[in-house]
Amino acid sequence: MLPSSVIEFFTAHQDWLWILTITIDLAITLILYWWFGKIGLYGVVVLNIMLSNLQGPKLTVVFGMPTSLGVVLYSGIYFATDLLSERYGKLEANRAVLLGFATSLVLVMIMTVSILFIPSPQAMVIHNAITLLFGFTPRFVFGSLFAYLISQSFDVWIFHYLKEKTEGRHLWFRNNASTLLSQALDTVLYSLVVWWGIVALDRAIQLGIAKYIFKAIIALIDTPFIYWARTWEVEKRDWYDSRKHYSKQF
């Protein structure tokens, strides 16, 4: 899809590409929020969890450290739920987390069933690609879903805990503290469930720390943007048609 000059440039500058990817993911969240209001943020949660499942196994080296591309998209979820928390409150943020959990389960289910279909000869390459990317082990599925649900729910809880304690001041504090703490929880839980017994403990810690550094960078970068997005007037986008209202017409 992309012109080859672009491809060559970013092949040589992988670190820039990583920063660009974060920027684009952040920009997309803001654009969807701007256009669709609250529902746009729900969309971002669903979108990012699905794309991070897809990109999870894609390993690359950025700033000299190995990392999975799924990390960028997964971290984007925290920005979306923090913005939902700030603007619309705890209940909405929790619903978005649960909806992301449900869609992640659905993704696993649909992909697992789809692998059972025997490809026609010309689609063999595609079949093998899907099997490689979505041939999840039960342990991996359980570990990542479990880590997601616990850490995101914790994120919403601690965000509001801090908001109450600080009487609604210092948005930067609750935004960063909630994400940094819950990402730490996420990394520890994931490492324990998925890596325990497979890789040695010191290796697991090493991988976990590398992953956490990237997550922390992403968490800090989004701070000015949550201040900006908080001030937007999106009330016009947040209309909703209730069933009662609508069915009166007939």
Partner 1 sequence: MLPQEVVDFFSTYQDLLWLVTVAIDLAITLLLYRLFGKMGLYSIVILNIMLSNLQGPKITIIFGMETSLGLILYSGIYFATDLLSENYGRREANRAVQLGFATSIIMVIMVSISLLFLPSNLPETKDFAERVHYAIQNLFDFTPLFVFGSLFVYLVSQSFDVWIFHYIKEKTKGKHLWLRNNVSTIASQSVDTILYALIVWTPIVGLEKAIHLSLAKYLFKVIIALLDTPFIYWARSWNVVGKDWHDAGDSYHHQHPNSDSKQKPESEN
Residue 144 or 184 with smaller CB distance to partner 1: 144
Smallest gap from residue 212 Cβ to partner 1 (A): 18
As a whole number of angstroms, the distance between CA 124 and CA 110 comes to 19
- The minimum distance between CB 71 and partner 1, in angstroms, equals 12
Smaller CB separation from partner 1, 50 or 150? 50
The DSSP code sequence of 30-48 is HHHHHHHTHHHHHHHHHHH
User: Closer CB to partner 1, residue 25 or residue 186?
Assistant: 25
- Residue whose C-alpha is closest to residue 199's, from 190, 191, 211, 187: 191
Min CB(239)–partner 1 separation in Å? 8
- Write the DSSP string, 186-223: HHHHHIIIIITTTS-HHHHHHHHHHHHHHHHHHHHHTH
Q: Between residues 169 and 224, which has the closer beta carbon with respect to partner 1?
A: 169
Q: Name the β-bridge partners of 67.
A: 60
Cβ proximity to partner 1, 98 vs 192, nearer residue:
98
Please state, in angstroms and rounded to a whole number, the distance separating the CA atoms of residues 205 and 172: 28
Min dist. Cβ of residue 121 to partner 1 (A): 9
For residues 87-111, one letter each, b for 16 or more C-beta atoms within 10 angstroms of the residue's C-beta and e for the rest, the string is bbeeebbbebbeebbebbeebbeeb
Smallest distance, partner 1 to C-beta of residue 196, A:
18
